[in-house]
Amino acid sequence: MIYRKRIAPYEVYQNGVPEWIALDKLPTYSKEILWTLIYRKMKAKRGNTMLFPWETERLMNLIRAENQGRALNGNNFSFDSQNYIIIQGNRTLNQNIGKKM
């Protein structure tokens, strides 16, 4: 990727939610199903997908519940590939981030 921009995270949680839980954990009402993610999966598309506000809120609620509402604090994070969790990092990578705005 030639265009990169450093972004500050809004909230960071240690544990993610598996795709099958996000898609298959049926809510009380069918309108609460994450149709955008299901459509993307059916079309075999990967990458960025715009979510409707209520879909975003439902995903965030699943992630918060998985982490008992405890977000990580800090500015630098990394991924522990052995345990599949986000961990506190100790360094900032400065290469190829584009021009300062």
Q: Tell whether the model's pLDDT for residue 3 goes beyond 80.
A: no
Inside any domain, residue 61: yes
62 and 17 in contact (C-beta within 8 Å)? yes
Q: What pLDDT is recorded for position 64?
A: 96
- Tell me which amino acid residue 86 is: I
Question: Per residue in 10-38, pLDDT tens?
Answer: 899 999 988 777 766 666 555 566 666 65
Whether 98 is in a domain gets the answer no
Identify whether 62 is part of a domain: yes
Structural domain including 47 reads: 19-88
> pLDDT (tens digit, 9 = 90+) per residue, 64-80?
999 999 999 988 888 89
Using a CB cutoff of 8 Å and minimum separation of 24, what contacts does 80-88 make? Answer: 84/16, 85/14, 85/15, 85/16, 86/12, 86/13, 86/14, 86/15, 86/16, 87/14
**CA 78 from centroid of its chain's CA atoms:** 14
How many domains in the chain?
A: 1
Q: What is the pTM of this model?
A: 0.67
CB 51 within 8 A of CB 67: no
Asked if residue 11 belongs to a domain, the reply is no
In a domain, 70, yes or no: yes
